[in-house]
A and B are shown apart, each in its own frame.
Chain A
Amino acid sequence: MHTLYNRALGGKSGTVGLALLCIVLFLVFPLSLDNFRLNMMSKYLSYAFVAVGLVLCWGNGGILSLGQGLFWGFGGYCMAAFLKLEAAHNIAAESGSDQIRALTTVGLPDFMDWNQITSLPYIWYPFKSFPLTIILVFLVPTLLAYIIGTAMFKRRVGGVYFALITQALCWIMEISFVTRQGWTGGINGITDLRTCLGWDIRTKSAQITLYFLTSIFLIACILVGRFILSIKLGRILVAMRDGEDRVRFSGYSVSKLKTFIFCVAAAMSAMGGALFVLNVGFMSPKLVTIEPSIYMVIFCAVGGRNSLIGAVYGAILVSYGKTYFSEMFPNLWYFLMGGVFILVTRFFPDGLAGAVDRFGPMLGKKIFSMIGRAQQNFPAVVPVTIEANEGH
């Protein structure tokens, strides 16, 4: 029990941080935000999964990937494919065999019909089954990460080169998804998703439930991340980041370890992507290309690339800022975002979490002295002595 407390929860300070995050996610947001804003928050939180993965592979392992949207996207597309088939199935059930009423080939996703595809492509078959879809949500991105990782890390591709290659892969994904319109819905993506296993995901209550579901899975990811960082693997990650050769010459296979953590980050991203689709009800190639992937890195940098919890706050803050400012200053927004990124990396290399660590104790002291409780230890002694006297 004690080791679990230390490992998954990260001891006292880690537990406090996690408890605060839980209060924010499970109480503050649901109570203070209206349904529309809460649904937006679910969207932001689904990006936070990527940021949490990046804390593991970039902040701790030193592997900067600018293409995490790739894995997030595959997770999302897998989920979207399942929901789309269910939607098509429902339309077919409503309209019987009447093709005119259905406005499409019965049982086929609408965009396939528009692209002169007359029967379901084999690649879509597994998405008829929900359990299989859940498996694929994780399996496809993880397998992809494994292939990329093995190919790159075995050849000692690292640093900037790796970042650029991941970015290129992201772009390749976008282009191929846009061009294979009949299979993927093209530039519009997969839209008009309605139910999941018969449960209407567009209703208000469903959106609230999904918000909580997203939060719970996010906390679970943080706990998994905490566990990884607390065991030997966590220390090896930091060691690889700071002295790859030393790790190699201590008998480790650096490429295998890097691939492993890259796969973990990919699986977490995929989970976020799948939850995004459930929350928002569509998936589009514009969400998985280079730009969102860079945003994901910015979330992580702003929140603190060494802090799993910081990454969540980073994702929420930057996404919220993006929504808010891009509504007000559509043209200025990019400069603002770039400026924030430069300032944070220049002055707070450890992001928000680093700033809290640095200034938190000072601030804490100030608050304590302001409310006259600077010497907290003093009053605590008194009751003990009284008790001792009573005993005699």
Chain B
Amino acid sequence: MSAAAELEIKDLTVSFDGFKAVDNFTFSVEHEELRVVIGPNGAGKTTLLDLICGKTRPTGGSIRFKGRELSKMQENSIVRQGVGRKFQTPSIYPKLTVFENLEISFPRGRGIWGSLFFKQTDDVRERINEVARDTYLSDHLHTSAEHLSHGQKQWLEIGMVLIADPKLMLLDEPVAGMSVRERQQTADLLKRICKGRSVVVIEHDMNFVKEIAHKVTVMHQGKMLVEGSMDEVQANEKVREVYLGH
């Protein structure tokens, strides 16, 4: 791992009325790395993703992606820098079809003129089909998203992030509520999509983490507890105490 880090977070702190949800957090993610962040509830994992994608503003510290400082940018500018975010509970557009969900997420025509004069050209349709195939939704393209199963909704949102071809993907609990088979399919999906980009995943399912993670970061009370391979982390006494022991 000699390449320069894609995502570099330094001394990141955010405090909500004195409570430090993320406290002097420093970490970095390499190009094409799939990093998993684990930790007990309230450790600040989701807040960390919120800070990176601009949903929450940091109190201090810096977030640099490909050398650019993100912490002062508007959410939509951060997206245009190539940062894509999937939320914890699948957030999709229930009244639109899978196709339309993906079409809106296609990174073109995002201004007002764009939305007025957007043309659904062949390359758009091709890309939508490709992403639908990747996310196992090819048979459901014209299904209204509200009628998808929970697991399919998760995939759809991953697809919606994926279609913008982000260079950094932030996935918050992508397999929550999925069956064992769906988890395996999601693991395959994540392994495929981390080519050409970096991925940060928050997850609780240890078998799933073991399957996909290149490196694991353990958070506890807003701080980094330990970082390393899955085996190292699982062998760590402190981690067993605060998290895995439960």
A residues touching B (Cβ–Cβ < 8 Å)?
231-233, 235-236, 238-239, 242-243, 245-253, 256-257, 260
* A243 surroundings in chain B (CB, below 8 A): 91-93
Interface of B with A (CB < 8 Å)? 53, 55, 74-76, 79-80, 84-85, 87, 91-96, 100-101, 103-105, 107, 109-112, 114-116, 118, 157, 160, 164
Q: 19 other contacts beyond A236-B104, A250-B164, with CB at 8 A cut-off?
A: A231-B115, A231-B116, A233-B112, A235-B104, A238-B96, A242-B94, A242-B95, A243-B92, A245-B55, A246-B91, A246-B92, A246-B157, A248-B76, A249-B75, A250-B105, A252-B110, A253-B111, A256-B111, A257-B112
Contact across chains for B118 and A232 when beta carbons are under 8 A apart: yes
The answer for the CA separation of A239 and B111 in the assembled complex, in Å, is 15
Interchain Cβ contacts under 8 Å between A and B, 18 examples: A233-B115, A235-B100, A236-B104, A236-B115, A238-B95, A239-B104, A242-B94, A245-B87, A246-B92, A246-B93, A246-B160, A247-B104, A248-B76, A250-B79, A250-B110, A251-B76, A251-B107, A253-B110
- Describe A's contact surface by its main secondary structure: helix
**Residue among A231, A232, A249, A257 with max Cβ neighbours from chain B (10 Å):** A249
Q: Closest 5 A-B residue pairs measured CB to CB?
A: A251-B79, A232-B118, A233-B115, A239-B93, A246-B91
Cβ contact within 8 Å between A249 and B116: no
Once the chains are docked, how many angstroms separate the CA of A236 from the CA of B96? 10
Chain B's nearest CB lies how many Å from the CB of A388? 35
Measured between alpha carbons, how far is A177 from B115 in the docked complex, in Å? Answer: 38
Q: Check if B116 sits within 8 Å of A233, measured CB to CB.
A: yes
What residues of A have a CB within 8 angstroms of the CB of B91 in the complex? 243, 245-246
Measured in the bound complex, the distance between the Cα atoms of B101 and A243 in whole Å is 11
A residues less than 8 Å from B79 (CB atoms): 249-251
Shortest Cβ distance from residue B216 to the other chain A in the assembled complex, whole angstroms: 25
A171 to chain B, nearest CB (A): 30
Is the CB–CB distance between B53 and A249 below 8 Å? Answer: yes
B151 → chain A closest CB, angstroms: 18
Whether the pair A251, B53 counts as a contact (CB closer than 8 A) is no
A239 touches B76 (CB 8 A): no
Q: Which residue of B lies closest to A254 (CB)?
A: B76
